[in-house]
């Protein structure tokens, strides 16, 4: 069975641009979470979606947004990119909102120049 898949795996953008990252959860998983992992730091929670509704938001500016589609896949959008947005963006899925193990994808590495 396929795990959590993310695309693209690597991308380079310039300051001020916009980026869209995509995530497909494990089949049957209804919850998707997004994390930002800056080099040398632990992952930091950005958003959680469950059944297409936002169920949690971390301490990130409004430039960050996300959505979940009827097939439970998800997109993370970041507008007006800053150098500090350079990071590994991890998507994780779980079966339900409060139960089940959290499974992580391999991430999308974003470099902002």
Partner 1 sequence: AQSVTQLDSQVPVFEEAPVELRCNYSSSVSVYLFWYVQYPNQGLQLLLKYLSGSTLVKGINGFEAEFNKSQTSFHLRKPSVHISDTAEYFCAVRNYGGSQGNLIFGKGTKLSVKP
One of 50, 66, 76, 85 touching partner 1 (CB under 8 A): 50
Q: Kindly tell me which of 18 and 73 has the beta carbon lying closer to partner 1.
A: 73
Residue 28 as a binder of partner 1 (CB under 8 A): the answer is no
Which residues share a beta bridge with 110?
11, 87
Phi first, then psi: what are they for 37, rounded to 5°?
-120, 105
Looking at residue 84, the DSSP 8-state letter turns out to be G
One of 19, 72, 87, 107 touching partner 1 (CB under 8 A): 107
Segment 39-48 long-range contacts (CB within 8 Å, at least 24 positions apart): 39/86, 39/87, 39/88, 43/90, 46/76, 47/76, 48/97
- Interaction mask 53-92, partner 1, x per CB under 8 A: --xx-x-------------------------------x-x
- Provide the binding-site residues for partner 1, judged by CB under 8 A: 4, 31-33, 40-45, 48, 50, 55-56, 58, 90, 92, 94, 96-107
């Amino acid at each position: 069975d396929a795990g959590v898949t993310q695309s693209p795996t690597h991308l380079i953008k310039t300051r001020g641009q916009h980026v869209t990252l995509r995530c497909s959860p494990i089949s049957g998983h209804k919850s998707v979470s997004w994390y930002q992992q800056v080099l040398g730091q632990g992952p930091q929670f950005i958003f959680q979606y469950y059944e297409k509704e936002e169920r949690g938001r971390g301490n990130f500016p409004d430039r960050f947004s996300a959505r979940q589609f009827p097939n439970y896949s998800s997109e993370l959008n970041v507008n007006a990119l800053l150098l500090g947005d350079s990071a590994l963006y991890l998507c994780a899925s779980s079966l339900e909102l409060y139960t089940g193990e959290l499974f992580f994808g391999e991430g999308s590495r974003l470099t902002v120049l």
